[in-house]
């Protein structure tokens, strides 16, 4: 059994393989922000954060935090050679204008058509929309990073999302702690399973209809 930290890093490590040298990416709060830690040394990406920075570095050493230098999760970050600051309107013009290569978002639910819900649970939890709807509408590639099941053991990979949508039919790849699944015109295709599971368990944990090809890879 993997603990929470190992699970998150398993997902982040697999997602890192989807990034190419020179990609401009927006990485959502949570698991996606762990992705840069897993990039090979020859892959350099440009990270965008919607609060107004294009190209930033790692978390500063303790004591070197700049209160005016944060990411969209209010975490401290650093300038690097090539950093640019922009205002919020321009930051989202970059997003909606299709100038990112991809975005990776967390999810409450994702479905086999690529629709994603991650901004509210009616009557229970309404934190708000944030930048997620703009990111989904504007990014050429939207990847979902999530645990396969919620804390009650319910599948988060559904035939159809039941929560209010963040975006309809925009996710192209779903990476969980159990599987990598591609949204295709014919349905949701199981591409890879985690080293720590098997196809039967993945099927049981998935409410969506899964297309299972002859060759399914593994990741760890």
* Selected catalytic residue, list 41, 50, 58, 192: 50
Of residues 139 and 194, the one with the C-beta less far from other proteins: 139
Known catalytic membership, residue 65:
no
Query: Which among 111, 120, 121 is positioned nearest to 144, based on CA atoms?
Result: 111
d(CA 82, CA 213): 44
Q: Which stretch binds other proteins (CB under 8 A): 20-28, 78-86, 150-158, 179-187?
A: 78-86
Interface with other proteins, residue 32, by CB under 8 A: no
Of these, 126, 150, 162, 198, which contacts other proteins (CB under 8 A)? Answer: 126
Neighbour count for residue 133 (Cβ, 10 Å): 16
Binding mask 37-76 for other proteins (x = CB under 8 A): ------------xxxxx------------xxxxxxx-x--
Work out how close the CB of 10 gets to other proteins at its nearest, in angstroms, rounded to a whole number.
26
* Residues 59 and 36: beta-carbon distance below 8 Å: no
Distance, CA of 82 to chain centre: 25
- Calculate the alpha carbon distances from 22 to 31, 108, 140, 202 in Å: 21, 30, 15, 34
Work out how close the CB of 97 gets to other proteins at its nearest, in angstroms, rounded to a whole number.
10
Work out how close the CB of 192 gets to other proteins at its nearest, in angstroms, rounded to a whole number.
29
Query: Which among 141, 138, 140, 54 is positioned nearest to 97, based on CA atoms?
Result: 138
- The token duo for 165 is 């949508």
Residues that bind other proteins (CB under 8 A): 49-53, 66-72, 74, 79, 85-89, 91-93, 95-96, 126-134, 137-138, 164-169
């Amino acid at each position: 059994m993997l603990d929470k930290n190992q699970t998150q890093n398993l997902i982040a490590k697999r997602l890192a393989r989807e990034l190419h040298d020179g990609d401009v990416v927006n990485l959502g709060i949570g698991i996606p922000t762990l992705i840069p830690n897993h990039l090979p040394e020859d892959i350099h990406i440009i990270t965008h954060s919607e609060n107004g920075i294009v190209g930033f570095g790692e978390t500063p050493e303790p004591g070197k935090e700049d209160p005016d230098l944060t990411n969209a999760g209010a975490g401290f970050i650093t300038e690097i050679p090539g950093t640019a600051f922009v205002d919020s309107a321009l930051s989202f013009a970059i997003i909606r204008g299709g100038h990112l290569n991809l975005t990776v978002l967390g999810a409450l639910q994702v479905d086999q058509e690529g629709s994603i819900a991650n901004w509210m649970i009616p009557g229970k939890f309404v934190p708000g929309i944030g930048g997620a709807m703009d990111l989904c509408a504007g990014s050429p590639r939207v990847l979902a990073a999530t645990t396969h099941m919620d804390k009650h053991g319910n599948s988060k990979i559904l035939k159809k999302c039941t929560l209010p949508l963040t975006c309809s039919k925009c996710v192209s790849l779903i990476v969980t702690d159990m599987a990598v699944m591609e949204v295709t015109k014919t349905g949701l295709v199981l591409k890879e399973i985690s080293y720590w599971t098997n196809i039967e368990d993945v099927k049981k944990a998935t409410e969506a209809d899964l297309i299972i090809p002859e060759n399914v890879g593994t990741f760890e």
